[in-house]
Structure 1
Amino acid sequence: MPTLRSSVASILAVLSLVLLLHATATAAEPTQKPNVMFILADDMGYSDLGCYGGDIETPNLDNLAAGGLKFTNFYNTARCWPTRGALMTGYYAQQIHRDALPGLGGGGRGVRQKWARLLPDFLKPLGYRNYHSGKWHIDGKVLAAGFDRSLDMRNQGNFFSAKGNFLDDKPVTPAADESDYYATTAVADHAIDCLQEHADKYADQPFFHYVAFISPHFPLHALPEDIAKYRDDYLKGWDKMREERFARQQKLGLVNTTLSALEPDVGPPYAFPDAMKKLGPGEVNRPLPWTELTEEQRRFQATKMAIHAAMVDRMDQEIGRIVAQLKAMGAYENTLIFFASDNGASAEIMVRNGGHDPSAPMGSAASYLCLGPGFSSAANTPFRRHKTWVHEGGISTPLIVHWPAGIKAQGELRNTPGHVVDIVPTILETVGVEKPTAWEGEPIPPAPGKSLVPAFAADVTIDRDFLWWLHEGNRALRYGNWKLVAAKGDPWELYDLTVDRAESNNLAQQNPEKVQELEALWNQQLQSSIDLAK
């Protein structure tokens, strides 16, 4: 009979052989590139999601955050088209003609330089299929930018009609009966269709999918059943809502600051007096104390916020459908999902696209409503100001990052400052490709973005020189935890963001040398951007 020692030796030999064969087989298997999906909201405030302190039902995004990371200091550019240009290229929008520079122009109609390629051009050589569903607002046609399929939602004035949209760069013919059409659902329908086709025909290839919802951008259009969920929730007013959201944010550990004060003298960034007349006596264009509003005004404002909430809620529901499709096709575990907003909530009040019928139900196709500065301030809790400003309320966004196969951390916070210019280098490092140094013989200049990949593993601070903003005369620079900021025509303000992201305690007069130092850096970046954009 075999001895105990010989039996153990035999077992160990067998185990060694099994491990060797497993290691050999594993080494022979090709590394599977991750899929990447970037989901972008439009005009959504920092505190609108449940996982960022909000009161809106967003269980699908909350689940992604619980299974991944929440970045607390992530930034956009304060406006839709510069954010999208920066997101897809890795450059500040001013560097690529997608936001204005003094003496050079640029902006929503600006055309990028040939070297300012979009992300799909760098992913295609690795075999990636590239899909776009939703808002575009980048110069040029979508398929020419490297995407294989696209739904370009050019109709941004009526959530209940497909009229004016483009499919694969060709005009869409709307259905004769659009009674069941809603833009947010249509974005998800297209995204799911692309994913289903990918699973059927291209399962051996990875994909990049850019899902750009219009929600909750004005006009405030939502499905009646979604509005009904929130109809009376905001009659408590924006003051109380801000306090409640701020308390939840503190409990979640998202912020280390005071709550910003409402600014009753700061209204919409652009004045449209005629719109105020059309909207009637319920409209208010200043964030006045809630108790000073009439009963009619309180109901009107609360209903607008209910519609905004309904739009965010429906977007989350549609994201849930997209996630379900990823799971059904076996792609969920190895899909790196990002979620962010293109700017803060909007204080704008205007009437476009056929006008506003005051007799129509609020939130229906015949109405044209905007959130306005009262509830925009609440949506941007705890920060100050709104879309178009580069104070924290205009440029701060949630950033959720979820990737089960590549990120072990679950439900953790990441406090490093980051910016949409970081997304391209982050994705390129994740998929294992170096950005080329030239395009069709023309050099590609260095870009300002930094990879966020080190922060996937631990709460580290990404090393960078600074972050920089300029939009319609509003300007800012973040250097470490110092922030220099000024609204158009105003003097520089200086804030210590370690304790004051509410931008409540202006330290400029106490620290004139720091103001001068940071102003020099801001001007340096301005000149660098001008030189690159020429």
Structure 2
Amino acid sequence: MTNSRLPRFVIFFCTFCFLFSFGTHLSAAEKPNIILIMCDDMGYSDIGCYGGEVETPHLNRLAREGMRFTQFYNNAKCTTTRASILTGLYPRFGKGGHMRQNMVTLGEAMKVAGYHTGLSGKWHLMRTKGYAKSKYPGGWIDRYDKTTHPFFRGFDSYYGVLDGCCNFFDPTISDPPYKRAGIRSFGHDDKAVTQFKDDYYTTDAFTDHTLDMIQRYSKDEKPFFIHLCYTAPHYPLHAKPKDIAKYVGKFKMGWNQMRKDRWRRIQKMGLADENWSLSEGDSRSYAWETANHEFEDLRMAVYAAMIDSMDQNIGRIMATLKATNQLDNTLVLFLSDNGGCSEEPGGRDPNKRNPGPKDDYVAVGPSWGWAQNSPFRRYKSWVHEGGISTPCIAWWPGKIPAASINRSPAHIIDLMPTFLEMAETEYPKTYQGHDILPVEGTSMLALLKGEEKSLHDSLAWYWSGNRALRQGPWKLVWDSQVKEWELYDISADRCEINNLAAQHPERVKQMTKDWFAWADKVELRSKLKADRKKKK
């Protein structure tokens, strides 16, 4: 009797030990899929669930069933934001650029974690071997440095524009001379893309590639990580006529009234703290009373249509996740790479500019760009809250509390460690023979589960002469136009209205010292010196 029971006991004991040792680890099939969606040059309050006028039912649904962040930060600019998201590091400004071999990318790290990986849309981190202006849609691809190409940096599949934003309807059309005399570079995996169908539209095409990856990757039990980088609503203002028609006439209230209307909606939604106040007018904004109202309304109508189209495509993604039985085990995260944009290449002469069709190149300009970030100050390239604050929506059924608002500060450098924790994988110390820079972000998985906590003692920013440092509630800002340090108590004054620098000179002094210490770490000091020499 004893002999007959012994094998069963041994089997039971060994099975118990195995389950005890490994029961806390997820199998490949249990690890969550991750889809990280980033749009381009969209303001803080543009989408419906953040107070905007644009019809965004699919993003609104994600917010209603998931979490909205009120203090999620980017880097104020396309390239630096993309570098930080992909590496979990602050951007480096010295020789070697933002994408180096001693940095591991999200594609590489998630691949090591056992994930299918893919990227669709804008890359904008290419380093070329002797750049020359391109004369065909292949652009840079024949001269790329493989260490800065997505297909060679961990992404199993890539389709999109390798440099900046292009013509939405026909990427073979060159930028106008007043912007950049060249054709943007498109690639599919490691090959150039030079032909586009007649009904092409980048927002649809980037989604098509994403849907294809979801369908292919869902055929086995490996989880997938997909980074979808829309170029909408970055200029040129190109949208489909049926989408534009929905918004024509809706922006004749002007940018000042739009800011006030959004501010009221943000307050009603509970996204603003009671001590917030609507920021003051922007120094670069021009008067609505002197503007051509038909033209200005049309500019914003096209801009809104671009966001609307993106939301429609996000609906396609959600439908495909459902069709492939991936809906319940997928984190979908949405954000913007910087605040609304004030740039205006080509000017705003209604007799010369025509927003909407592919044969012109129009932007919204500083007045609308400032209003898109209501209630905050400034916009893209500046590091006041309007330039670095992004709407951020996180949706993960059964994991993220529905209809929740998280007010903890978080930063794009936190995405890498968050995704690795979800994948139960450590950030690598070495990769392909290279020692990897230590990750600078902190996992925000606890925030996604509903906790409110502090992730960082300090956060820092720089772009185009603008500087900022946040430590707890205090934020130090250097505006490249004002050229002096400003100090704000963000806990009491998120919209940066009351400059407290004169009342706290010692704090300004210490935080200035801390910002320059960070500048040295990210190889910025030499750039600052070079910039000063150029101005002289």
Equivalent position SS for 1:530: coil
Letter in 2 for 1:144: F
Partner of 2:165 in structure 1? 156
Shift of 1:111: 5.4
Q: Match for residue 151 of structure 2?
A: 143
Question: In structure 1, how many angstroms separate the alpha carbons of the residues matched to 2:215 and 2:335?
Answer: 24
Cα pair 1:428 1:435 within 8 Å, conserved: yes
SS in 2 for 1:513: helix
Aligned to 1:508: 501
Q: 2:75 aligns with which of 64, 77, 81?
A: 77
* 2:63 maps to which of 65, 88, 97: 65
Amino acid at match of 1:303: L
Contact 1:161–1:174 (8 Å) recurs in 2? no
4+ runs deviating over 3 angstroms: 26-31, 355-361, 531-534
Cα shift at 1:442: 3.5
Write the letter of the residue equivalent to 2:154.
Answer: G
Deviation at 1:405, TM superposition (A): 4.0
Post-superposition Cα deviations, 1:348-382, rounded to whole Å, max 9, x if no partner, equal: 00039xx9995785310112110111111111000
Pairs within 5 Å for 1:230-269: 230-256=247-273, 257-263=276-282, 265-266=283-284
2:108 partner letter: D
- The residue that corresponds to 1:480 in the other structure is 472
1:412 matches 2:404: yes
Q: Which residue of 1 aligns with 2:86?
A: 88
CA contact (8 A) 2:91 2:98 kept: no
The answer as to 2:111 corresponding to 1:124 is yes
Percent of paired sites with the same residue = 41
Q: Amino acid of the residue matched to residue 170 of structure 1?
A: K
| 3-state SS of 1:208 partner | strand
Deviations 1:284-327 (A, max 9, x none): xxx2332x224xx1211111011110000100000110111011
Alpha-carbon distance between aligned partners in 2 of 1:506 and 1:360, rounded to the nearest angstrom: 39
**Structure 1: which amino acid aligns with 2:303?**
H
Counterpart of 1:464 in structure 2 is 456
The 5 A counterparts of 1:280-429 are 287-290=285-288, 292-294=289-291, 297-351=292-346, 358=351, 361-407=354-400, 409-429=401-421
Distance 2:522 2:186 in 1: 33
Q: Which whole-Å CA distance do the structure 2 matches of 1:55 and 1:235 have between them?
A: 12
Change (3 A) 1:338 1:357: same
Write the distance in 2 (CA, Å) between the matches of 1:50 and 1:531.
38
Deviation at 1:531, TM superposition (A): 9.1
Distance in 1 separating the partners of 2:53 and 2:114: 41
Amino acid at match of 2:290: L
- Residue 129 of structure 1 aligns with an amino acid whose one-letter code is H
- Cα deviation code 1:400-422 (max 9, x no counterpart): 11111432x10101111111111
Instruction: State how far apart, in whole Å, the 2-side matches of 1:306 and 1:459 are.
Output: 38
Residue 184 of structure 1: aligned partner: 203
Would the alpha carbon gap of residues 331 and 533 (structure 1) be closer, same or farther in structure 2, given more than 3 Å must change? farther
Letter in structure 1 aligned against 2:170: S
What does residue 174 of structure 1 align with? 195
Do the aligned partners of 1:345 and 1:386 also contact (CA within 8 Å) in 2?
yes
2:101 maps to amino acid? K
The residue that corresponds to 2:12 in the other structure is none
Asked whether the equivalents of residues 151 and 168 of structure 1 are also in contact (C-alpha less than 8 Å), the reply is yes
- For 2:206 and 2:406, locate their aligned partners in 1 and report how far apart those are by CA, in whole Å: 29
SS at match of 2:370: helix
Structure 2: distance between partners of 1:426 and 1:499: 29
How many Å apart are 1:119 and its aligned residue?
Answer: 0.9
Q: For 1:359 and 1:498, how far apart are their aligned partners in 2?
A: 45
Deviates more, 1:513-522 or 1:231-240: 513-522
Aligned residues: 470
Choose which of 506, 509, 520 in structure 2 pairs with 1:527: 520
Q: Cα distance, 1:54 vs. partner?
A: 0.8
Superposed displacement of residue 126, structure 1 = 2.7
Which residue type is aligned with residue 235 of structure 2?
A: F
CA–CA distance in structure 2, aligned partners of residues 210 and 517 of structure 1: 38
Give me the whole-angstrom Cα distance separating, in 2, the residues matched to 1:473 and 1:458. 36
Q: When the two structures are superposed, what TM-score results if normalisation uses the length of structure 1?
A: 0.84
Report the AA paired with residue 378 of structure 1. A
Taking the aligned partners of 1:504 and 1:27, their CA distance within structure 2 comes to 52
Aligned match for 1:40, one of 38, 41, 47: 38
C-alpha distance in 2, partners of 1:518/1:360?
A: 45
Inter-partner Cα distance in structure 2 for 1:366 and 1:442: 47
Residues 62-113 of structure 1, C-alpha deviations (whole Å, 9 max, x = no match): 111111111100010000011000001000012xxxxx3xxx467xxx2533
One-letter amino acid of the counterpart of residue 338, structure 2: N
1:434-453 alignment to 2 at 5 Å?
434-453=426-445
Counterpart in the other structure of 2:213: 194
Distance 2:51 2:109 in 1: 36
Is structure 2 residue 244 aligned with structure 1 residue 227? yes
Partner SS for 1:70: strand
Change beyond 3 A, Cα 1:368–1:356: farther
CA distance in 1, matches of 2:44, 2:77: 14
1:234–1:111: structure 2 CA closer, same or farther, 3 Å change rule?
Answer: closer
Contact kept? 2:33, 2:331, Cα under 8 Å:
yes
Name the SS of the counterpart of 1:152 in structure 2.
strand
User: CA distance change for structure 1 residues 531 and 484 in 2, over 3 Å: closer, same or farther?
Assistant: closer
Distance, in Å, in 2 between the alignment partners of 1:360 and 1:435 is 49
Q: Taking structure 1 as reference, are residues 162 and 390 closer, same or farther at Cα in structure 2, changes over 3 Å only?
A: same
SS at match of 2:158: strand
Q: What does residue 12 of structure 1 align with? A: none
**Cα offset, 1:440, TM superposition:** 3.6
* Contiguous gaps of at least 5 residues in structure 1: 1-19, 95-99, 267-286
| Contact persistence 2:71–2:408 (CA under 8 A) | yes
RMSD value over aligned CA atoms? 2.5
1-structure distance, mates of 2:64, 2:233: 23
Matches of 2:404 and 2:251, distance apart in 1 = 30
What is the deviation of 1:162?
4.1
Q: TM-score, normalised by structure 2?
A: 0.83
Q: 1:473 to 1:105 in 2, by over 3 A?
A: farther
